[in-house]
Structures are given as C-alpha cells and as structure tokens.
C-alpha cells in the first residue's frame, strides 16, 4: 500500500511524475481515450508492478505508448501499410500491433512473449509531454482493476487503484471515452481489426485506401485481452431494451425517458464519451440491474456495442 498522490499537469508536476516513472513507480496518466496506468516499458520490475496493481492475467500483453516516430521505429518494423496508418492517425486513438524488433528494449512482460508489440502514440498533450520527459516508452493498460470498467475521469482511477499506484495526473475527463482501435499489420501488409474503437473501418479506408480483414476466427488468441466478460459494472446488464422492466435502471440512448442517457440527441460520439462515466456512476449508485437502449451498429456505435456486449456477458 502506497499513498497515491494527485498531481496537476503543469511542467513541474510532469517532471515529478517522470522522475517517479524513471524510478520504476506507477503513474496514472490521462490520454484522449481513457486513463492509462503507466510504467517504464523497458523495466521488468515496473511492468510486473502494472500486472500486480491491476490484478491482470500475465498472458494479456500491454500497449507501449510512444511520443514520436523515432521511439516507435526503434521498437517495431513498419510495413508500408503501417506507415500509412501512422501518418493518417498518429497521434491519436489508434494502436498498431506490429512485428517486434529483435533488439527492442521493452520488457518481455509487455508483449507477454508474443513476437508482436502493440504501440500507440496518444494525442493527449499531457501523455505525450510525459513520455517525452521520461524519454522511454510507457507501458499503459487502462487504469482500472482487471475486468472492471475503464476510467475516463480521475475519480474513476482512484476508486479502483488508490493505494496501489504512486501518483495520478489529473487531466480532467477523457474526450473519446472508449479505448483505442487496435489494428494488427502483418509483415505481408494484411491489416486486421482486433478491437473496435474511436477510428472506424470507414475512416481507415478513406484516409489510407486500406480495407480491414475481419479478426481471426478465434479473437481470443489474437488479442488475448479481448476476453468476453470485461468492462463489468457491478450490476447485471441487459442489452437492446426498449424500456426498463420493474427493478431495472434504464441507460438510454436517444429521445427516451431514462434514469441516465448516453446521448438524448442520439450522437454516438457523445455516447462513447459518456459510456464509462455513466456505468461508473450506476456502480456508485448501487444499481443492480441495468437495461440499455439499442445503439446503432455504425461508426462509434460498433465500439460502444463491443464494450456493452462484454459488460453483458456471463461472468464466472
């Protein structure tokens, strides 16, 4: 048990956070998607501490966050398709799973033994300034206990991890609200969607001309973290509910009468940005049965429905 300090995002605070990270301590940092639980990706001890703080299974690899292309290119090979994707979407809510360089300095725990490495260059100015200040890639899973709802506000981080991390950098609420889109690019240039997120297949096609292959038959092998029950609120979750049954609390979408509404105007981006905050809020309110309005399976709706299906999956 350590006492978790809350730091601001001014230069002096970031210098302090960087010092903690270089010493192997864990710091929660804001990104545009969700808060990340950051540790020095080159340190075996720091990476082991991330798994321990989250209670995360050790076969579920981490994303290394970089500040610039030089840092990225030192770690992985970039097939031309990956160069195009990075040019189009970095910095931003896109993670690329790429063939790891043999000489990459990341701790083996980051990749959980896979020959590939997941990389992301976040757009959030605080995250990028912090990585630059540390001068090393930062491994950062979402800053929540394993299997629970990802944090989009500082209070969510503290609710799950207070006493388990050295510090939290308060950067306010995250603007995207769901985790990054994960694309795997093979040496041969095949691009596969491993996790839907803030960047959709349509945007990828428009910006790069690349079409995405469906995830491999068993996505469980491809993205070990994509376990079915995930993002679990304390209450049970029923999807595609037109109305709440007695005893249920409706999480609405669009013009419906609901206890909480993801977006009364039916805006999918607004709904994504509010999704985890409203699930956290229902946890705090002690809601035991959540019913969720239908969400269209288009654009950001795909990422929202992916998270909701996992939230609704049987837990055992």
Q: Rule CB under 5 A: which residues touch Mg ion?
A: 142
**Contacting residues for 168 by C-beta, under 8 A, at least 6 apart:** 4, 5, 6, 7, 27, 28, 35, 143, 154, 157, 158
**Contacting residues for 218 by C-beta, under 8 A, at least 6 apart:** none
CA gap 26, 33 in Å, rounded: 19
- Report if residue 61 touches ligand TXA, rule: CB under 6 A: yes
**The one segment of 18-26, 70-78, 79-87, 178-186 that binds ligand TXA by CB under 6 A:** 178-186
Residue keyed to tokens 């709706």: 301
**Contacting residues for 289 by C-beta, under 8 A, at least 6 apart:** 235, 236, 238, 247, 248, 249
- Report if residue 82 touches ligand TXA, rule: CB under 6 A: no
Alpha helices in 261-314 (DSSP H): 268-284, 300-312
**Which one, 112 or 259, has the nearer CB to ligand TXA?**
112
* Secondary element (H or E) of residue 138: strand 138-139
Could you tell me how many residues of this chain bind ligand TXA (CB under 6 A)?
28
Q: Which of 118, 131, 262, 273 binds ligand TXA (CB under 6 A)?
A: 118
CB of 5 to Mg ion, least distance (A): 23
Please give the residue whose beta carbon sits closest to ligand TXA in the complex: 225
**Six-digit token pair at 219?**
């996505």
CB of 117 to ligand TXA, least distance (A): 6
- Report if residue 141 touches ligand TXA, rule: CB under 6 A: yes
Q: Which of 111, 152, 261, 305 binds ligand TXA (CB under 6 A)?
A: 111
**Which one, 120 or 260, has the nearer CB to ligand TXA?**
120
Task: Check: CB of residue 60 under 8 Å from CB of residue 225.
Answer: yes
Nearest partner of 224 among 110, 312, 148, judged by Cα = 110
Chosen from ligand TXA, Mg ion, none, partner binding at 275 (C-beta under 5 to 8 Å by type):
none
Residue keyed to tokens 């790891």: 100
**Which one, 89 or 276, has the nearer CB to Mg ion?**
276
- Report if residue 179 touches ligand TXA, rule: CB under 6 A: yes
Residues at the contact surface with ligand TXA, assessed by CB under 6 A: 31, 33-34, 36, 60-63, 95, 97, 111, 114, 116-118, 120, 140-142, 179-180, 182, 194, 222-226
């Amino acid at each position: 048990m350590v006492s978790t300090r809350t730091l601001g995002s001014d230069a002096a605070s970031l210098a302090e956070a960087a010092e903690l990270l270089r010493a192997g301590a864990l710091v929660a940092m804001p990104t545009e998607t969700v808060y990340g639980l950051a540790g020095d990706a080159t340190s075996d001890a720091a990476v082991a501490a991330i798994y321990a703080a989250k209670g995360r299974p050790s076969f579920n690899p981490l994303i290394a966050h970089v500040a610039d292309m030089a840092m990225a290119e030192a770690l992985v090979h970039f097939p031309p398709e990956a160069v195009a994707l990075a040019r189009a979407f970095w910095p931003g809510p896109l993670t690329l799973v790429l063939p790891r360089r043999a000489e990459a300095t990341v701790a083996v725990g980051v990749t959980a033994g896979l020959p590939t490495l997941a990389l992301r260059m976040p757009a959030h100015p605080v995250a990028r300034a912090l990585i630059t200040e540390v001068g090393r890639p930062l491994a950062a899973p979402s800053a929540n206990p394993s299997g629970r709802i990802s944090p989009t506000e500082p209070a969510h981080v503290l609710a799950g991890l207070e006493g388990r991390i050295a510090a939290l950098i308060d950067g306010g609420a995250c603007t995207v609200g769901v985790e990054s889109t994960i694309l795997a690019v093979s040496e041969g240039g095949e691009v596969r969607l491993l996790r839907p997120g803030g960047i959709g297949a349509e945007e990828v096609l428009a910006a790069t001309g690349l079409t995405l292959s469906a995830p491999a038959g068993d996505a469980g092998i491809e993205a070990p973290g994509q376990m079915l029950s995930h993002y679990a609120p304390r209450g049970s979750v029923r999807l595609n509910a037109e109305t709440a049954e007695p005893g249920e609390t409706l999480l609405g979408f669009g013009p419906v009468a609901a206890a909480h509404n993801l977006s009364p105007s039916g805006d999918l981006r607004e709904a994504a940005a509010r999704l985890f905050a409203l699930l956290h809020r229902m946890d705090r309110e002690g809601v035991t049965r959540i019913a969720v309005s239908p969400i269209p399976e288009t654009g950001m709706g795909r990422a929202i429905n992916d998270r909701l299906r996992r939230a609704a999956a049987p837990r055992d």
